[in-house]
Amino acid sequence: MNAIDWIVITVYFSILLGLVASVTRRQQTSADYFLAGRNVGFFAIGASIFASNIGSEHIVGLAGQGASTGLAMAHYELHAWIVVLLAWVFVPFYYQSGVFTMPEFLERRFGPRPRWLLSLVSLAAYVLTKVSVTVYAGAVIFRTLLPDTFGSPDAAFWVGAVSTVLLTGLYTVAGGLRAVLYTDSVQALVLILGSAAITWFGLGQLGGWGELRDFAATSVADYALWRPLSDPEFPWLGILIASPIVGVWYWCTDQYIVQRTLAAKNLRAARRGALWGAFLKVWPVFIFLIPGLIGAALHERGLLRIPLDAAGGLAGDQVFPAMVVSLLPAGLRGLVVAGLLAALMSSLSSLFNSTATLFTVDIYEKLRPEATEQQIVTTGRLATGVVIMLGLLWIPVMPAISEGGLYQYLQNVQSYLAPPITAVFLLGIFSSRVNARGALWGMAAGFVLGMTKLGSQAIFGSGKIENPALLAAIADFNFLYFSGVLFLICLAIMIGVSRAGPPPQPEQIRGLTLASLDRQAVRESWNRTDIIATATVLGLVAAIYLYFSFWI
């Protein structure tokens, strides 16, 4: 890092601080703070959806996965088609119901107990996965890019972790969702340009796309998009089963993403914001995953030095930072570092605001229904501060749980959290027969079984404790297949328990199921532009799948 790089970073942060200052004065009500006054256009919504998804753990982790497992994780990065589902299937229900949170929508459909369960599980999951993993990945970037700036690599790690969390927390506390949305619009642009530069310069150093294909062809089993059924980690059938389950949960039911669409000024803006986010989501394969594969090829040919892990393989989470240091010229290197910081900050700010919204709307307002608007906003800010502190406290644990790579760790955990939530939202919208008791029992059983699998995986299995054999077998059962089995169990419980009791009253579910949706209002919210945008996104996803299925 030289003076030009630091100037670029300083200019970038000055722009962000100016944006935050301009919106901080406009937070007067809870709707202003948590949903930006419900008056946001589609461009900011789509950019925020993309920037919120692409955190530093995404960039660092995806590049690491590209270097070690090739395109195996590309299926999760081609979820643009699921964001299209959000736009057309889920957004009309959420927007017409006027809710602030996803647990609040569940309460409208199933009553208070499922809402409490989803709120508590979501809060715990955010702190233990998203906050801690995002912060850890950002700190790894500081340790690699600025190893001696603060005295030692470990000191750089902690300075990076603490400073980015505190800075992001401050502007999120002050500006609410409006600050998050506006800064995300800038960060999405920097993120795409900076990461695209890595792909461009990496391919130039390697000798072009043909050289990358030749490298990948030397080990098709390691770098192909589709793995055989015998693959212990990413069998193609497991990917086809688990990827949509996790995708529907993350993109269509998670507060972290859906909250952006709830801030739209109308249903049309909400849908188009989701479609714009879907278009942006098409490109991470090329600007985050492919650079990792390029890094592995450069390392093998002696053109780039990537640190090795304890087992002698490439240290996956060091691939992207090493490429930034070695390949980019001054100034552009500063822009890419700004992009990495943008990724970290956009994910954290979105997460902080969503967590504060969940706690304040779904817990505090239930316990204190007489609270004033000012008290609600103040509580949201305090909740953000608590989440910041919990995330910092969890960082020392992260090195122990990220051994397999940050991105793969996230997919494991999400494969166990997603099935019950995906099941309850799908049945809640598409079935008028499922009742509150069925939803509660299915969700509770799903969470218990998922956490049992996660706990068993950490303690038992091959190379760990192998007795009792049953727990070892559960631990070693492929996480992708388990996600599908758990999803079916949750569906069976929800349907079975619901059938054993009375159906919901029609007035209770009016406007909350497919059969009772206001179809006229939905039809008036779209036109030819939305159809063309949808066809463009789906066509791009299909073309990418077709190309990479046969590229080596």
Mean pLDDT of 5-20: 82
Predicted local confidence at residue 367, as pLDDT: 83
What integer pLDDT is reported at residue 297 of this predicted model?
93
CATH of the domain at 229: 1.20.1730.10
- Return the pLDDT at 406: 58
* pLDDT tens by residue, 297-316: 999 998 988 888 777 778 77
Under 8 Å CB-to-CB from 187, ≥6 apart: which residues?
16, 51, 339, 342, 343, 345, 346
Tokens describing residue 474: 């559960």
**Mean pLDDT for all residues in the chain:** 84
Q: Return contacts of 367-376, CB within 8 angstroms, 24+ apart.
A: 373/28, 373/29, 373/30, 376/30, 376/33
Domain count of the chain? 1
**Within-domain flag for 152:** yes
**CB atoms closer than 10 angstroms to residue 335:** 20
401: confidence class by pLDDT, cuts 50, 70, 90: very low
Span 179-206, pLDDT tens digits: 667 777 777 788 788 788 889 999 999 9
pLDDT tens readout for residues 414-466: 899 999 999 999 999 999 999 999 999 999 999 999 988 988 887 888 888 88
Name the residue with tokens 């369960």.
Answer: 117
Give pLDDT, residue 317: 72
pLDDT digits (tens, 9 = 90+) for 506-544: 888 888 898 888 888 889 999 999 999 999 999 999 999
The percent of residues in the chain predicted with pLDDT above 90, rounded, is 37
Distance between CA atoms of residues 251 and 354, nearest Å: 14
Contact 325, 145 (CB under 8 A): yes
DSSP string, 296-313: HHHHHTTSS---B-TTSS
371: number of Cβ within 10 Å: 16
Residue 128 located in a structural domain? yes
Q: State which residues form the domain around 323.
A: 3-407+527-549
**Domain membership flag for residue 385:** yes
For the cut 60, the answer to whether the pLDDT of residue 404 exceeds it is no
Rounded-to-integer distance, Cα 477 and Cα 461, Å: 9
Does residue 503 lie in a domain region?
no
The two structure tokens encoding residue 299:
């390392």
| Cα separation, 419 vs 414, whole angstroms | 9
CA distances, 179 to each of 308, 325, 391 (Å) = 40, 31, 21
Asked, for residue 142, whether it belongs to a domain, the answer is yes
Give the residue carrying structure tokens 């007067």: 28
| 283-297, 381-395, 471-485: range with lowest mean pLDDT | 381-395
- 265, two tokens: 């000024």
Residue showing tokens 């190379």: 463
Residue 439 maps to a domain: no
Cβ atoms within 10 Å of 306's Cβ, excluding its own: 23
In 3D space, the residue among 283, 346, 292, 352 whose CA is nearest the CA of residue 323 turns out to be 292
Instruction: Indicate whether 438 belongs to any domain.
Output: no
With a cut of 90, say whether residue 171 has pLDDT above it. Answer: no
14-23, 176-185, 258-267 — most confident range = 258-267
| Confidence category of residue 397, pLDDT binned at 50, 70, 90 | low
Number of H helices, E strands in the chain: 29, 0
Question: What is the per-residue pLDDT for 298?
Answer: 93
Residue range 88-142, pLDDT digits in tens: 999 999 988 888 889 889 999 999 999 899 888 888 777 766 776 777 767 777 7
Condensed to tens digits (0 to 9), the pLDDT of residues 23-47 reads 666 555 666 655 555 778 899 899 8
* pLDDT computed for residue 175 by the predictor: 60
Domain assignment present for residue 195? The answer is: yes
